[in-house]
Structure 1
Amino acid sequence: MATAFGKTLSARETPIPGLVLLDLPVHGDSRGWFKENWQREKMSAPGIDLPDFGPVQNNISFNDAVGTTRGIHAEPWDKYVSVATGRIFGAWVDLREGETFGAVFTAELDPSTAIFVPRGVGNSYQTLEPDTAYTYLVNDHWSPDATYTFLNLADETVAIGWPIPLDEVEISAKDQNHPRLADVVPMPPKKVLVTGANGQLGRALRAEFGDHPWIEYATRADLDLTSPDLDAARRWRDYGTIINAAAYTKVDVAETAEGRTEAWAANVTAVAALARIATANGITLVHISSDYVFDGTKDGAYSADESLSPLGVYGQTKAAGDAIVATVPRHYILRTSWVIGDGANFVRTMASLAERGIDPRVVNDQVGRLTFTPDIAATIQSLLDAAAPYGVYNVTGIGTPRTWYDIARDVFAITGHDPERVAGVSTDDYFATSTTPVAPRPRNSVLLVDDAGPVVTGDMEERLNAYLQG
């Protein structure tokens, strides 16, 4: 069978999600032929849409006899397969956890065809011509610590229709002894790492993502993000997503010498290390930003693409972290304001003061919206599930913006206390007698939310009622 010339580069979907069969243009004349075997720009363009999977190794398997049969092997990396010379019958079986476990696809490949094999899909082939060279690009190096999954070539359940019966071909003893499908341990998804797992957002992420073998919740005691050994702390190629819920948030203490050092270490140095790891290993990095990256002087809500203009040290470190994360090819920056979750926060403080009979003075010249941590966690899940476009997303409650004074009165009213007990005061007057450094606050913290996209939001007042009554 001669190689097909003159094809147009195109992609064909298969019954296995992510497994893509490609037709390749091959140009030939009396001297032989030429093809672009892998062309990143063309193959990741719309219409082909292969992932830019970042190959790190190019392997060639030469087979001198017809009927040489290899597989079925599923590795924890992506693979791009093509034939340099000869022809093969290829069979692929989905060995990943999920609804398509056991799904099969077969096709013949010659130099004018190729196939992209995603992580966890079993790969096998049988040569149909002598002197066949089978080539494949992979985006990770073999490791004894990695997870591998195998399936027997003769499994009766998937019932691959090999062109040459398996009892007539050359097969290694190792391949012959692979397990049947019923005994295969499925390839688990890539790991998700959640840092800052004991914070307000970290606890909401635990509730949203649940407990699974492939989800890792880490505190600083488990993983020091500022350690110079962070690159070697994990086999990072096994991770698909890092959700960084760790941050330094003591905005006033950040104005001190010690606090400034700690804020830059947690919000910039650690973020830079995660960004470097994410970029090197093709990991999606989810980063939590803040309204403090703005100076609050704008008349109107801040959009997701607004230019940054931080005031104090905390805001400067968060803005620096945003700029770093934006360089990661796969990133989501979630900008939030006035975060409320499970733990000490403004709403809990006001509820406690109301209950104890203390009448607070609360600033009335800062405007924004509360953001509840379950909404942030649900938005992260939504972005990842939908494979939403990478970039910046504003995530806050929706509804009429309020001042801290307004919210304090709402808390008093919801908890059955007289809201008139709350007195309003300007920010300048509130901090006028402070004997410790005070961070400048943005007066306008209102973020523009696109509630038609993957951002999960709810009415701020409804969320507040549910939070206090829950």
Structure 2
Amino acid sequence: MTIEFSKQLKATATPIPGVVLYDLPVHGDNRGWFKENWQREKMMALGLPDFSPVQNNISFNEKAGTTRGIHAEPWDKFISVATGKIFGAWVDLREGESFGAVFTAELDPSQAIFIPRGVGNAFQTLEDDTAYTYLVNDHWSADAQGQYTFLNLADETAAITWPIPLEQAELSDKDKAHPRLGEVVPMPPKKTLVLGADGQLGKALRAAYAGDVSVEFATRNDFDLTAAASYADRNWKNYSTIINAAAYTAVDTAEETEGRKAAWAINTTAVASLATVAARHGITLVHVSSDYVFDGTTQEHDETESFSPLGVYGQSKAAGDAIVATVPRHYIVRTSWVIGEGNNFVRTMASLAERGIAPGVVNDQIGRLSFTQDIAAGIKHLLATNPAYGVYNLSNDGQSQSWADIAADVYELTGHSRDAVTGVSTEEYFKGKQAAPRPLNSTLNLNKIKATGFTPAPAKQRLSEYLEN
């Protein structure tokens, strides 16, 4: 066997999405050779996913012509030759447009290949005493074999040209019995779990992902965030994403004894449990944050601002954000003044207008409304485009307003006089009432999420549409 020495580390895309062939630098002299078989930092710089391998396996093959496959496994693999030479064949057995796509290549120790979950692989040794090694990002178990997908090595549709004809090769009886492509059940994608599916944002996420069978919605009855069994009784290996749309949002009640306990239990302790699951299983965690993590002394908040919460609700949300930020794959979506299906400020003002009531509404708290359809669309955009992990502000766009301004807009849009709304200060409005402190400035800078290609609709446009519907 002749090995090409001193190649540059190089990544080459293949016809199968996610399958990448790598050239590896091999350094040799009269004593033999050395190579960096797996170098996380360098390979990630070339675009290799940070797939977090947990197991290293070696397959030794005594004779040329030994042929294994075609097996699609429920984990990612990074495969390279240790000694000898192989002919590799890969067939996409995942659900989707690329199902059935084929790629073949000969590999020696100067090459490696990354195979995503659900892509079938097969190897035929071209030399005696060939060994190849593969890193996988899940532990093998007998239970996992039930999640494999197989294709017959002689499938006519894939039409793989084996260097050593299959009738002359060494095959197992199991491999000979695998189905043809027309009989293969494609491997489904990993699932997305939406928590808080009965809330305002949860309902909007249901609409955004309507018809997508890979998205699973859980209400508080399906998944109790405060129960240890919720985290222990689920096979997390089958999930790629968790969207946490659940939260304790009773801002004023959170200042009371029982409310304080509930706020911390749901907004912090439960979030820590979700973060543990996500980090352990390589899951992307999407967590919805709030303008209440700030004290409102800054006129506009960007994603780099430090926490400065005023009340218990904001403190519990800030603690949750800090925990989520430690998860390798996370999106913290920070929003404000949420409006969706259910009880909310806009519905209350519309009801008051219809009943002829002239309300006093706070005029010194400034921000933008965030309609749940746009929050859901923004979350869907982040997961589809996969920008850098981190915090993204997400409210509706347009001019900042006070609550009194928005109330006046509601009155006007429902055919009533704007003058029916009287502006009052926060201090005056809550005088004599038990209330949590509020940030006076809640406007979120949207430049970061806009840079990803997502621009939320203007708040006034969404308000008009909301009231029409």
TM-score bracket, shorter-length normalisation: over 0.9
2:370 equivalent in structure 1: 371
Report SS of the residue matched to 2:242: strand
1:188 aligns with 2:196: no
Report SS of the residue matched to 1:380: helix
CA deviation after TM superposition for structure 1 residue 426, in Å: 1.1
Question: Quick one: which amino acid aligns to residue 102 of structure 1?
Answer: G
Counterparts in 2 of 1:49-88, with a 5 A limit? 49-88=47-86
CA distance in 1, matches of 2:175, 2:93: 16
Question: Quick one: which amino acid aligns to residue 262 of structure 2?
Answer: E
1:319 equivalent in structure 2: 318
1:445 aligns with 2:442: yes
CA deviations on 1:229-271 (whole Å, 9 max, x unpaired) are: 3442211121111100000000000000100000000000011
CA distance in 1, matches of 2:446, 2:277: 30
CA distance in 1, matches of 2:410, 2:391: 31
1:152 aligns with 2:152: yes
Question: Quick one: which amino acid aligns to residue 51 of structure 1?
Answer: P
CA distance in 2, matches of 1:244, 1:399: 27
Question: Quick one: which amino acid aligns to residue 35 of structure 1?
Answer: K
Question: Quick one: which amino acid aligns to residue 445 of structure 2?
Answer: L
1:122 equivalent in structure 2: 120
CA distance in 1, matches of 2:181, 2:333: 41
1:430 equivalent in structure 2: 429
Counterparts in 2 of 1:1-40, with a 5 A limit? 1-40=1-40
Question: Quick one: which amino acid aligns to residue 174 of structure 2?
Answer: K
Asked whether the 8 Å contact 1:372–1:397 carries over to 2, the reply is yes
CA distance in 2, matches of 1:165, 1:210: 48
CA distance in 1, matches of 2:231, 2:425: 47
1:135 aligns with 2:147: no
CA deviation after TM superposition for structure 1 residue 460, in Å: 0.9
1:289 equivalent in structure 2: 289
CA distance in 1, matches of 2:15, 2:463: 46
Asked whether the 8 Å contact 1:382–1:456 carries over to 2, the reply is no
CA deviation after TM superposition for structure 1 residue 335, in Å: 0.7
CA distance in 2, matches of 1:395, 1:17: 31
CA deviation after TM superposition for structure 1 residue 178, in Å: 1.0
CA distance in 1, matches of 2:11, 2:340: 46
Question: Quick one: which amino acid aligns to residue 396 of structure 2?
Answer: G
CA deviation after TM superposition for structure 1 residue 98, in Å: 1.2
1:279 equivalent in structure 2: 279
Report SS of the residue matched to 2:261: helix
- Structure 2 unaligned residues grouped into runs of 5+: none
CA deviations on 1:271-311 (whole Å, 9 max, x unpaired) are: 1111111111111110101010110111x311111111110
Asked whether the 8 Å contact 1:13–1:21 carries over to 2, the reply is yes
CA distance in 1, matches of 2:232, 2:27: 45
CA distance in 2, matches of 1:39, 1:303: 35
What is the root-mean-square deviation of aligned Cα atoms in Å?
A: 1.2
Q: Residues 203, 456 of structure 1: CA spacing in aligned structure 2 closer, same or farther, 3 A cutoff?
A: farther
2:175 equivalent in structure 1: 175
Report SS of the residue matched to 1:229: helix
Counterparts in 2 of 1:285-364, with a 5 A limit? 285-298=285-298, 300-364=299-363
CA distance in 1, matches of 2:34, 2:379: 45
Question: Quick one: which amino acid aligns to residue 55 of structure 1?
Answer: P
Question: Quick one: which amino acid aligns to residue 190 of structure 1?
Answer: K
CA distance in 2, matches of 1:238, 1:142: 14
Counterparts in 2 of 1:34-49, with a 5 A limit? 34-45=34-45, 48-49=46-47
CA distance in 1, matches of 2:212, 2:57: 34
CA distance in 2, matches of 1:377, 1:253: 27
CA distance in 1, matches of 2:272, 2:453: 26
Q: TM-score with structure 2 length normalisation?
A: 0.97
CA distance in 2, matches of 1:182, 1:271: 44
CA deviation after TM superposition for structure 1 residue 227, in Å: 2.0
CA deviation after TM superposition for structure 1 residue 456, in Å: 3.9
CA deviations on 1:329-369 (whole Å, 9 max, x unpaired) are: 11111110100001110001111111122222211110000
1:469 equivalent in structure 2: 468
CA distance in 2, matches of 1:453, 1:460: 20
Q: Which runs of 4+ in 1 moved over 3 A?
A: none
2:404 equivalent in structure 1: 405
Asked whether the 8 Å contact 1:396–1:449 carries over to 2, the reply is yes
CA deviation after TM superposition for structure 1 residue 115, in Å: 0.3
- Structure 1 unaligned residues grouped into runs of 5+: none
CA distance in 2, matches of 1:100, 1:453: 26
CA deviation after TM superposition for structure 1 residue 225, in Å: 2.0
Asked whether the 8 Å contact 1:393–1:455 carries over to 2, the reply is no
Question: Quick one: which amino acid aligns to residue 62 of structure 1?
Answer: F
CA distance in 2, matches of 1:205, 1:155: 41
1:393 equivalent in structure 2: 392
CA deviation after TM superposition for structure 1 residue 164, in Å: 0.9
CA deviation after TM superposition for structure 1 residue 211, in Å: 3.5
CA deviation after TM superposition for structure 1 residue 167, in Å: 1.1
CA distance in 2, matches of 1:175, 1:115: 22
Asked whether the 8 Å contact 1:43–1:50 carries over to 2, the reply is yes
Percent sequence identity over matched residues? 67
CA distance in 2, matches of 1:344, 1:95: 46
1:101 equivalent in structure 2: 99
CA distance in 2, matches of 1:217, 1:147: 22
Asked whether the 8 Å contact 1:93–1:123 carries over to 2, the reply is yes
Aligned pair count reads 465
Question: Quick one: which amino acid aligns to residue 193 of structure 1?
Answer: L
CA deviation after TM superposition for structure 1 residue 176, in Å: 1.1
CA distance in 1, matches of 2:452, 2:140: 39
CA distance in 1, matches of 2:359, 2:147: 57
CA distance in 1, matches of 2:205, 2:140: 32
Q: TM-score with structure 1 length normalisation?
A: 0.97
CA deviations on 1:133-182 (whole Å, 9 max, x unpaired) are: 12111001234156221111111111011111111111111111111111
CA distance in 1, matches of 2:381, 2:453: 6
Report SS of the residue matched to 2:444: coil
Report SS of the residue matched to 2:289: strand
Counterparts in 2 of 1:233-244, with a 5 A limit? 233-244=233-244
Asked whether the 8 Å contact 1:91–1:125 carries over to 2, the reply is yes
